[in-house]
Amino acid sequence: MRYKTVWLRPLLSALAALLLLMLLFQHFGGLTDFFNNFFDKDPDGEAETPVYWLQLVHNSGGEDATSENIELEEAVIGFVAAEMPAAYDEQALAAQAVAARSYAWQKYQAEGEVCDNSAHCLAYLDEAARRERFGSAFNEYETKLRAAAENTAGLILVQDGQPVPAYFHACCGGQTESAAACWGGTSYYPAAACYWDNLAGGSAINSSFWPKEQLAERLQVTPAQLALLYIAGTTPSGRVKEVRCASQSWSGNDFRQLLGLSSNRFSWLESKEGFWFTTLGSGHGVGLCQQGAGGLAAQGYDWPQILAVYYAGCDVCNLNELYEPTPRPDNAE
């Protein structure tokens, strides 16, 4: 019996050591990675931070349209600066940064480029434009904007492992809208009660007056036919889905744009001279309500809580869990 244990012990020790080495290599992702990790540096000798690039088109559709390759995180600062008042609380700016990064990245993946036309993609301010807009408050606002991007670096909203088109708007007026109810297609996130707007009494009520002759001309009906103008359907959140008049019909969004109304949550009163249109909130109402986010942040909510209000059913995920870092484009500055 004794001769067996003599060779069994070293053999078991060798097997255990081999198993430990295999586990170590698997954990560190291979021999090269193992040594890189062991010496805490990458082959170039620099700390490796994944960098993602966007192709950003300026003045899209214009004659002097130009395009640049820009680091995603740098673009996010410019998007947030253009899309949300920089005076807002840092947590609201951080929520906006995640929404803007998600929206831009999703659009970039789908279309290969993002433009700085807010009606199509996102408004954008480069550093020179930010200096001009913020004036003497530039340093203060720039610090806040950079912190908003850096504190959420790489984070996007996802659903089923896919980036979500994270829409946002100026003010919902108390109730956001689902994307499906607004434009059809996938909903991604449901309509939500906007606590802040409700606390603030459903802010942002606007009115505009249209004399009958002008309204009839704009709608391409006769003044007499205006008596037939009616709302043919509303969405669950109370926004206008369809308006009809005589043989004409418009979606709520088209009608809103035709008359320059601030939102598709509108109603009207007819007088002898014309029509008074009243709107609640401004923008399409889908996704993050900027005024609501600003109000929630002022009350102490942090950015994950704010995003949870407006993008229920979505998760926050780092880009590097879904995408390989994009190589630096040749024509990048």
For Zn ion, give the closer residue by CB, 165 or 292. 292
Burial of 292 (0-12, 13-18, 19+ CB in 10 A): buried
For Zn ion, give the closer residue by CB, 274 or 294. 294
Beta carbon of residue 195, minimum distance to Zn ion (angstroms, whole number) = 8
For Zn ion, give the closer residue by CB, 275 or 301. 301
For Zn ion, give the closer residue by CB, 121 or 219. 121
Beta carbon of residue 169, minimum distance to Zn ion (angstroms, whole number) = 8
What span, in angstroms and rounded, lies between the C-alpha atoms of 169 and 12?
Answer: 66
Beta carbon of residue 78, minimum distance to Zn ion (angstroms, whole number) = 14
Beta carbon of residue 185, minimum distance to Zn ion (angstroms, whole number) = 18
Beta carbon of residue 274, minimum distance to Zn ion (angstroms, whole number) = 30
Binding site for Zn ion (CB under 5 A): 115, 120-121, 172, 194, 197, 289, 292
For Zn ion, give the closer residue by CB, 182 or 194. 194
For Zn ion, give the closer residue by CB, 274 or 292. 292
Q: How far is CA 170 from the centre of its chain?
A: 12
Beta carbon of residue 207, minimum distance to Zn ion (angstroms, whole number) = 19
